[in-house]
């Protein structure tokens, strides 16, 4: 594992996802400053994820056909600059377009970045992907704090800071990524390199196991719905069903997110020692009883006691399903990265409005029970996963 480059890519991941993380914190300012209603706000959240989730695999497919390392720098720039524009625009549809471009920029960045992480990870692919993932977690955690701070000080035009962050990191990526590529090539065995040019083969060794990848996709879809649903409704469940304060209910998500930084790293380490299928399977099955206890315990103290093990179950398998996707599609690592990274966040966000309708119709307790069922379906789907046929350096390609 080439750690200095890996840490840089994790920092790039943070600078990319800090804009996506900041958007929810900026939405209340759109309401107060621009007079948007809740339907308009929901439209912006939809714009940030819906198109991005569908085009991210396309950019991964492009990267597999002919490696485009410049995608990373360009994607970070587009993400940051697009969000920065929202503070200078007043037309709703212009803001909608800027937020959509922000999602597209993120979709451009992720597949190629995940391919490069795969290439420099050595034999510790789970740990490497978890370190890269922590950068994204940090972006989603730090983004809201930064957004509120700069807008409170400078007004809506404070969003320009996100453009500066994206521009600076984009330029750094344009400068350093060629060096990272050379280091990745130097660490690979000769058969990984094309005999003519000494460049890394864009069609890595190995085979594509599409049936296994489709089974993994099923796991990710159920997992994403459970994850996003829990993030959306756990605070309201604590307030409405258990009678806690708004602050105490919202703090549950803060604890889960902060713990996720460490449990993501733990999950990557365990994956390298236990295997990716094992960690994904055990994490998925662990979540089911923990979530059931949250729903039926009826005590906020029990919920807080369960937050750390729930974070292990929710965040620990993250690197495992990304690496598994790359393993099942050993010749299409970019496409696999685009699908796994895209679906893991977007599908749940698309389904959450339907869960909200279900909660309005049948109550918050009912929707939490439904999430237990979804988590169980995800756990059952992990039983269909085979061990990957190809492992090691043959899965790398830059």
215 and 326 together in one domain: yes
Query: What's the CATH code of the domain at 24?
Result: 1.20.1250.20
Residue 204: inside a domain: no
- What confidence category does residue 211 fall into, taking pLDDT thresholds of 50, 70 and 90? very high
Cβ of 7: how many Cβ atoms within 10 Å? 14
Question: Residue 398 pLDDT more than 50?
Answer: no
Given a contact cutoff of 8 angstroms between Cβ atoms, the answer to whether 307 and 255 are in contact is: yes
Structural domains in the chain (count): 2
319 and 361 together in one domain: yes
Domain that includes residue 357, residue range: 210-388
224 and 149 together in one domain: no
CA gap 104, 182 in Å, rounded: 28
223 and 179 together in one domain: no
Residue 398: inside a domain: no
242 and 185 together in one domain: no
Spell out a b/e string for 280-319, using b for 16 or more CB atoms within 10 Å of the CB, else e. Answer: bbbbbbbbbebbbbbbeeeebeebeebbebbbbbbbbbbb
Residue 397: inside a domain: no
- What confidence category does residue 202 fall into, taking pLDDT thresholds of 50, 70 and 90? very low
Instruction: Provide DSSP, 39-50.
Output: HHHHHHHHHHHH
CA gap 37, 234 in Å, rounded: 24
pLDDT of residue 206: 66
Q: How high does pLDDT run on average in the chain?
A: 82
Pull the structure tokens for residue 4. 């200095």
pLDDT of residue 250: 66
Given a contact cutoff of 8 angstroms between Cβ atoms, the answer to whether 340 and 115 are in contact is: no
CA max distance for the chain: 69
pLDDT of residue 111: 81
The string of pLDDT tens digits covering residues 61-105 is: 776 776 678 888 999 999 999 999 999 998 999 999 999 999 889
176 and 274 together in one domain: no
Residue 65: inside a domain: yes
What is the mean predicted confidence (pLDDT) over 8-16?
92
Residue 166: inside a domain: yes
Residue 202: inside a domain: no
214 and 188 together in one domain: no
CA gap 351, 50 in Å, rounded: 11
Cβ of 187: how many Cβ atoms within 10 Å? 16
pLDDT of residue 392: 44
118 and 9 together in one domain: yes
pLDDT of residue 114: 80
Question: Residue 198 pLDDT more than 50?
Answer: no
Q: Is 385 exposed, middle or buried (0-12, 13-18, 19+ CB in 10 A)?
A: buried
pLDDT of residue 379: 96
236 and 277 together in one domain: yes
231 and 367 together in one domain: yes
pLDDT of residue 236: 77
- CA separation (Å) from 119 to 200, 361, 396? 10, 49, 5
Instruction: Please state which of the ranges 26-30, 194-198, 251-255, 320-324 shows the lowest mean pLDDT.
Output: 194-198
Residue 64: inside a domain: yes
The string of pLDDT tens digits covering residues 230-242 is: 877 887 788 888 8
Question: Does the pTM exceed 0.95?
Answer: no
214 and 110 together in one domain: no
What is the mean predicted confidence (pLDDT) over 190-211?
54
147-151, 276-280, 390-394 — which one is most confidently predicted on average? 276-280
168 and 38 together in one domain: yes
């Amino acid at each position: 594992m080439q750690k200095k480059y890996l840490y840089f890519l994790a920092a790039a991941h943070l600078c990319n996802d800090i804009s996506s993380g900041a958007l929810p914190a900026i939405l209340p300012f759109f309401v107060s400053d621009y007079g948007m209603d809740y339907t308009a706000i929901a439209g912006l959240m939809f714009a940030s994820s819906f198109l991005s989730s569908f085009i991210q695999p396309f950019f991964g497919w492009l990267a597999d056909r002919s490696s485009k390392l410049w995608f990373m720098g360009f994607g970070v720039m587009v993400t940051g600059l697009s969000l920065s524009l929202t503070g200078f625009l007043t037309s709703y549809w212009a803001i909608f377009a800027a937020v959509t471009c922000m999602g597209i920029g993120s979709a451009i960045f992720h597949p190629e970045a995940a391919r490069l992480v795969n290439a420099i990870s050595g034999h510790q692919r789970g740990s490497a992907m978890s370190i890269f993932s922590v950068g994204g977690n940090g972006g989603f955690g730090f983004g809201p704090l930064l957004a509120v701070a700069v807008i409170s000080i400078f007004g809506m035009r404070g969003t320009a800071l996100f453009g500066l962050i994206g521009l600076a990191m984009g330029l750094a990526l344009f400068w350093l990524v060629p060096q990272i590529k050379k280091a990745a090539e130097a660490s690979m065995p000769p058969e990984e390199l094309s005999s003519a040019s000494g460049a890394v083969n864009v069609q890595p060794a190995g085979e594509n196991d599409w049936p296994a990848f489709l089974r993994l996709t099923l796991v990710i879809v159920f997992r994403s719905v459970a994850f996003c649903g829990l993030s959306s409704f756990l605070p309201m469940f604590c307030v409405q069903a258990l009678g806690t304060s708004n602050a105490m209910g919202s703090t549950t998500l803060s604890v889960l997110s902060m713990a996720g930084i460490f449990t993501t790293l733990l999950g990557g380490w365990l994956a390298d020692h236990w295997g990716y299928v094992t960690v994904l399977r055990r994490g998925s099955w662990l979540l089911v009883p923990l979530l059931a206890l949250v729903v039926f315990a009826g005590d906020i103290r029990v919920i807080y006691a369960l937050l750390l093990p729930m974070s292990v179950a929710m965040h620990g398998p993250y690197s495992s399903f990304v690496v598994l996707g790359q393993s099942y599609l050993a010749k299409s690592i970019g496409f696999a990265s685009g699908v796994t990274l895209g679906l893991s966040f977007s599908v749940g966000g698309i389904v959450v409005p339907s869960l909200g309708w279900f909660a309005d119709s049948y109550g918050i307790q009912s929707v939490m029970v439904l999430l237990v069922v979804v988590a169980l379906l995800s756990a059952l789907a992990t039983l269909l996963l085979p061990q990957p046929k190809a492992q090691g350096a043959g899965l790398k390609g830059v």
